[in-house]
Chains A and B, each alone.
Chain A
Amino acid sequence: MIVERPDMQVKVNLTREELEKAKEMLGREPNIVELGMIDIMWSEHCSYKSSREVLKILPREGEHVIIGPGQDAGVVDIGNGLAVVFKIESHNHPSAVDPYNGAATGVGGIIRDILCMGARPIALVDSLRFGFPSSPHARWLFRYVVKGIADYGNCTGIPTVAGQVEFDPSFERNCLVNVGCVGIARKDRIMPSVASNPGDVLVLVGGSTGRDGIHGVTFASKTLSEKSEEERSSVQIGDPFMKKLVIEATLEAVETGYVRGLKDLGGGGLTCATSEMAAKGGTGVEIELSKVHLREEGMTPYEIMLSESQERMLFVVDPKGLDKVLSVFEKYEIPYSIIGRVTDTREVVVKLNGKVVARVPAKLLAEAPLAKRTSKKPAYVEKLRDIPPPPMPENLEETLPQLLSSPNIASKEWVYQQYDHEVGIRTVVKPGQADAAVLRIIEEDGGNRGIAIKADCNSRHMYLDPFNGAAGALAECCRNIVAVGGKPLAFVDCANFGNPEKPEIFWQFEMAIKGLAYMARGLGIPCVGGNVSFYNEDETTGRAVKPSTEVLAIGLVEDLKHVTTMAFKSAGDVIVVVGKTFREVGGSEYYYIVHGIEGGKVPAADPNREKSSMNAVLEGIRRGYVTAAHDISRGGFAVALAEMAIQGGRGAEVFLDNMPREPMRIDELLYSESNARFIITVEEKNLDNFISLCRNTGAPFGIIGRVSRSNRLILRYESLVLEYDVHHLEKAWKMPIWEYMEGLRS
């Protein structure tokens, strides 16, 4: 709506009721600056006004949790005085409008979130979703999002080590760009984003403040429409070299011991940083805008308070050590300005040349009134679930190469070869080699530990069944961490949905969070943070994205010698399937690619089954029995087996009759995406030991065959034989994305 004032009119996204509420809380009409501040802080993006109540059901406590949701990033204790700090965030809307700059500044933003906890960022993770790559628009977004991430990440010297790419027509115009960052910090140097002590000095550090990105947040809280074309100035330009300096200077400033609070300026700019820090500390702040270093002349208080210029951090500094902290910024030649002080008034007071231009209680800004949303099960859910199974394909043998060529399964080398994944010399497991990335923890006492990192979500499962889909995403993520030899510790999530004002969309969101909470409690893995992105829908077509709750989990690898990759290692190794296969082909890649069907009953998620499988595999890896491990997920058993053969460059002969399963057709057995399953290999001499581990944890298992000397992959089932040349499978799997991007495939 438009709000009129004598001297100007402003467009705000507040509803009439919200505006009335703000007036009532303030006790008077807000002026233009105050209105802008309230508008931005009460936007969905800053306030979580639709999602807050629902998110409360996620378990947040755990023995390793140091800081849970509500801060800029989650913090988890990994022992030895160290902590892992991590977070995932969406940058969907800016990336849909300007893929290159949108994705690059997304990376910049998530790095700041980790940095402002006092941690050194050590790895980036990106989960991307686009329309099917046969579409030129989808390819354009895909190409430049990846380039934006690569250019920014590579320049800052932080390796991009893991991620996920999914293609589905629902992301055609609304791509999803979820960027995650993992950092490491000394436990005693973890920095809260809070201003607790009146008298402390506020120092704004880094890039100058310009007119860019004003209303970026309110932009992210709206659906994309034709009008977005005109709003393009909300997109920003990142400066990764400045970011690198800001990283080093921030960590050195924290090291002085005089920094008492730290927050990055992202969505909501100076308004968000000052009001949230004051509200959390039960204090107030007073700032003088004439002190802020600006990039453009004639900027108004409204613009300065709402600017979302990049590479800025707000430091709360003990006045006793101010000179020491400032000398660090001078050493790195980073611009800074002393903009004000922490007060005890519980108000955010903004002055220009000594004259008050805004005065708002910090809590009013930081704690927006909840938005009541109604929820209703969409009609499609039952209709799609109860479809009859498709007929047996005429040529079953062709379906495996066909699935390996699906862009959702095919090699993502085209993506990760653009990323520097080794800078920083911590990378132990590189992209594509194993189910999760592993980074070395550099420790003074010469420890040999690592952090396993993975992000997952299957948006088709989530669309058909948000509860099991989201629960399955967390389960899959944890299985991936287990497969490399890590013990999952905690996760963060990034929820991407359509317009929450539509009851059907809100139902998806509620069910997804319930599913996540169910799996998190069952596995004992707490949620330590996250981000919600709503309004991911195309206004002209009214089409929402498939719901996605991207899960980013981290795990601890106690000893790097445990690290296990997926490649078949030696001829003669015994192949074991852990976990039972159910007739759960609904939402599978097989249905979608081979039969063109989106429907059916998606795999159920059961924490107890997950635990028994994960415990057997993790213990087997730690004891050195397991020579290769791979989780079974998208594409089912046959795709997982083929990937192990392709990575190892050798074949195998397997007997599917030995798989633990419920009765089903052969195509269903090959491609069911049931949860709680792994394929592993063990040396013959360790087979009995591994089997007794499975018996102890109660994990169903089947000894199905051996790795062979030749390059033939042979699958036998009753009288049926499927035989492949591993090199042919490799070609089918390796080339598709390159071919799409080179225009050789459509």
Chain B
Amino acid sequence: MPRYIVEVLIENKKTIRDPEGETICRELINKGGYDSIKSVRVGKLLRMEVEGSSEEEVKELVTRMCNDLRIYNPVVHSYRVEIRGITR
């Protein structure tokens, strides 16, 4: 069975603050002289290898897992599941 590389990107919803990103932008980047960088959002990337017979099947499985196991916090996070290729 093929093995897919799947990435789950979790970040705060657009309308939700991201104090970590704000702090990095303000204290590290802007104070470090990179003024043209206006905002930073921090997220979390889960890259996984998933066995399955098709892209659709794998995507469906990972999405279900994210919701089942609360791999993200539905109150504040949005998440995106992307297929990045096949390892074999």
Whether B17 contacts A237 by the Cβ 8 Å rule is yes
Residues of A contacting B12 with CB < 8 Å? 237
Residue of chain B at shortest CB distance from A243: B19
Q: Chain B residues near A238 (CB, 8 Å)?
A: 19
- Jot down 11 A-B pairs with beta carbons below 8 A, ordered by A: A98-B75, A210-B15, A211-B15, A212-B15, A232-B76, A233-B13, A237-B12, A237-B16, A237-B19, A239-B22, A241-B23
Cβ A237 vs Cβ B73 within 8 A: no
Q: How many residues of B contact A (CB 8 A)?
A: 13
Contacts of B17 in A (CB 8 A): 207, 210, 212, 236-237, 239, 295, 309-310
Q: Which residues of A contact B2 (CB under 8 A)?
A: none
Question: What total of A-B pairs shows CB separation below 8 Å?
Answer: 41
Please indicate the chain A residues that have their CB under 8 angstroms from the CB of B16 in the complex.
212, 233, 237
- Chain A residues near B23 (CB, 8 Å)? 241
A98 and B19 contacting across the interface, CB-CB below 8 Å: no
Flag whether A100 is at the interface (Cβ < 8 A): yes
What sequence of 0s and 1s flags, for each residue 80-100 of chain A, a beta carbon within 8 Å of any chain B beta carbon?
000000000000000001101
Shortest CB–CB separation between residue B15 and chain A, in angstroms? 5
Interface residues of B in 8-32 (CB under 8 A from A): 12-13, 15-19, 22-23
**Which A residues between 229 and 255 are near B, CB-CB below 8 angstroms?**
232-233, 235-239, 241-242
Pair A241/B19 contact, Cβ less than 8 Å: yes
Contact B15 A242 (CB under 8 A): no
With A and B bound together, what is the CA distance between A237 and B13 in angstroms? 11
Contacts of A210 in B (CB 8 A): 15, 17
Cross-chain contact B19 with A239 (CB below 8 angstroms): yes
Find the B residue at minimum CB distance from A97: B75
Q: Which range contains the number of A residues in contact with the other chain?
A: 20 to 34
Enumerate chain A interface residues (CB-CB to B < 8 A).
97-98, 100-101, 207, 210-212, 232-233, 235-239, 241-242, 295-296, 309-310
In the complex, are the beta carbons of A296 and B75 less than 8 A apart?
A: no
Interface of A is mostly: loop
The reply on B74 being an interface residue by CB < 8 A is: yes
- Least CB distance from A146 to B in Å reads 16
Residue among B15, B16, B75, B76 having the largest count of chain A Cβ atoms under 10 Å: B75
CB-CB under 8 A from B75, the residues of chain A are 97-98, 101, 232, 235
Ranked 4 nearest A-B pairs via Cβ: A239-B19, A98-B75, A232-B75, A237-B17
Contact across chains for A98 and B15 when beta carbons are under 8 A apart:
no
Contact call A296/B15, Cβ cutoff below 8 A: yes
**Which residues of chain A are near B15, meaning CB under 8 Å?**
210-212, 233, 296
B19: which A residues are within 8 A, CB to CB?
237-239, 241-242
Which residue from chain A places its CB closest to the CB of B22 in the assembled complex?
A: A239
Question: A236–B73 Cα gap in the complex (Å)?
Answer: 13
Asked, given contacts A237-B12, A241-B23, whether A232 binds B74 with beta carbons under 8 Å apart, the answer is yes
Q: Give the nearest-CB partner of A234 in chain B.
A: B75
B20 and chain A: residue at smallest CB distance: A239
Set of chain A residues within 8 Å of B74, measured between Cβ atoms: 232
Task: Determine how close the nearest CB of chain B comes to the CB of A514; give it in whole angstroms.
Answer: 38
Determine the distance from Cα of A295 to Cα of B39 in the docked complex, in whole angstroms: 11
The one of A101, A211, A295, A310 that contacts B76, using a Cβ cutoff of 8 Å: A101
- How far apart are the CA atoms of A499 and B6 in the complex, in Å? 47
List chain B residues, Cβ under 8 A from A212: 15-17
B73 is contacted by which of A98, A207, A239, A310 (Cβ under 8 Å)? A98
B76: A residues at CB distance < 8 A? 98, 101, 232, 235, 237
User: What separation, in Å, do the CA atoms of A746 and B57 have in the docked complex?
Assistant: 36
